[in-house]
Structure 1
Amino acid sequence: MDFKDYIRVIPDFPQPGISFKDITTLLNDGEKYRLAINELKELVSDLKIDLIAGPEARGFVIGAPLAYALGVGFVPIRKSGKLPYETIEAGYDLEYGKDTLAMHSDAIKPGQNVLIADDLLATGGTISTSISLVRQLGGNVVGTAFLIELSELNGRDKLDGINVVSLVKYQ
């Protein structure tokens, strides 16, 4: 199935020159959403996964159902100040500034195998920061999974040779 048919492309959003890939049109079609999660499940089923981690917010809508389908736990990665318990944090650069991601300090046990899932791989900043958080807790990142990969931005180059699977690639 070509999932591109269910992803709306919005030109010049959020600023001129950007071609935004809107997954809400895929998410609100229950059958296609389920098929996308099941296809991601098949692509990662040979990995030994103990947990899936997903950065907010769209990493939740990909990672949580994927964790459910695989029968493993889910770890939310949030912006700083959004989690209620003791956290670890890592900062990263945005196009116009900086941001910080956080995870509960007890979310991952040393040696656990973690897959990181998100909706989109672009420059790799969010995912490489997520990888850093998992590794701070002693987790082993066994791969990453995305609905969409923007190949021209070379985000996978920042992921240290970690296995990357994506359903849709835009050049």
Structure 2
Amino acid sequence: MYDETPTVVLGPVSRGSLLGALTAAALGVGFVEMRKDQGAATDSDRWIRHTTAPDYRDRHVEFGFRHGLIQPTDHVLLVDDWADTGATACAARSLVAQCKAHWIGAACIVDGLANARLRHELPLRALLNLRQL
């Protein structure tokens, strides 16, 4: 899967937005910020949304972005700082599926996933494993 080149990098707020934007700039591809709990009152555009399974704080977070930012022809890579439960990456994969785009996988700095199955299902690549810190 990782031999594919992304056309869009998806970065969740807040640190993922910074890392994702830097990754997209380095690759020369588009960037989409995945926002948390974006209320309809702040934006009249149609949004693609997905609520996560419990995250590392046992919260259910709604992520989303404006409709049309990711096209069916796009190949999408999620970039974030840390993977703990995998809830954010799974939400991102669902959002990409709603756009009928192609999910490449997820990349992060620290892999703290307790569920090894998710590491392969997403797929997830990291610079460091939590055990290395």
| DSSP-derived class of the 1:67 partner | helix
Q: Tell me the CA shift for residue 162 of structure 1.
A: 3.2
Moved more, 156-165 or 49-58: 156-165
Give the TM-score normalised by structure 2.
Answer: 0.83
Match of 1:127 in 2: 89
What does residue 59 of structure 1 align with? 16
Following the alignment from structure 2 to structure 1, what is the Cα–Cα distance between the partners of residues 120 and 110?
19
Please state how far the C-alpha of 1:59 moved relative to its aligned partner.
0.7
Change (3 A) 1:162 1:96: closer
Question: How far apart are residue 160 of structure 1 and its match?
Answer: 6.3
* Count of residue pairs brought into register by the alignment: 125
The one of 114, 122, 137 aligned to 2:76: 114
**Partner residue, 1:147:** 109
1:43-122 alignment, distance < 5 Å: 46-81=3-38, 84=43, 85-94=45-54, 95-122=57-84
Question: What is the percentage of aligned positions where both structures have the same residue?
Answer: 28
Q: Give, in whole Å, the separation in 1 of the partners of 2:94 and 2:47.
A: 14
Task: Give the CA deviation at 1:159.
Answer: 6.0
Contact 1:80 1:89 in 2 (8 A): no
Structure richer in helix, relative to its length? 1
- The TM-score normalised by the length of structure 1 is 0.66
Q: Cα–Cα, structure 1 residues 170 and 120, in superposed 2: closer, same or farther, change >3 Å?
A: same
1:158 equivalenced with 2:115 (yes/no): no
SS in 1 for 2:72: coil
Deviation of 1:108 (Å): 0.7
Counterpart AA for 2:86: G
**What is the RMSD computed on CA atoms of the aligned residues?**
1.9
- Structure 1, unpaired ranges of 5+: 1-43
Does the 8 Å CA contact 2:38/2:63 hold for their aligned counterparts?
A: no
Q: What amino acid maps onto 1:134 in structure 2? A: V
How far apart in 2 are the matches of 1:80 and 1:107? 18
Change (3 A) 1:89 1:159: farther
